[in-house]
Amino acid sequence: MTDEVRESADAPMSLRMKLIGGAVVAVILVASAWMMLRMSSPAIPPGTTPPAGHYPLSCGVCHTISADAVLEGH
């Protein structure tokens, strides 16, 4: 064995790389949460009126808009 110090193995991660890694992880988490929301929300027809107490976002943010969609309970 040699007594050489491996600088690449012992060098701590730089602050810049930590920030980039954290940003990548945050983007992946947000994208995953949005995809799960989209897949779990039912498709709705265009022009649907949101029910009382519904989130004030555009319907297309959470739902798939499709002319073939049927509203539940109608």
| pLDDT tens digits along 20-54 | 999 999 999 999 999 998 888 888 888 888 888 88
54 belongs to a structural domain: no
| Position 8, amino acid | S
Closest CA to 74 of 54, 47, 52, 44: 44
> Quick one: pLDDT at residue 20?
97
Closest CA to 72 of 48, 53, 36, 39: 48
67 belongs to a structural domain: yes
> Quick one: pLDDT at residue 36?
92
**Whole-model pTM above 0.85?**
no
21 belongs to a structural domain: yes
Bridge partners of residue 44, in order along the sequence: 65
> Quick one: pLDDT at residue 18?
95
5 belongs to a structural domain: no
35 belongs to a structural domain: yes
Domains in the chain: how many in total? Answer: 1
* Structural domain span for residue 64: 14-47+59-74
Mean of the pLDDT values across residues 51-74? Answer: 81
pLDDT band for 2, please (50, 70, 90 cuts).
low
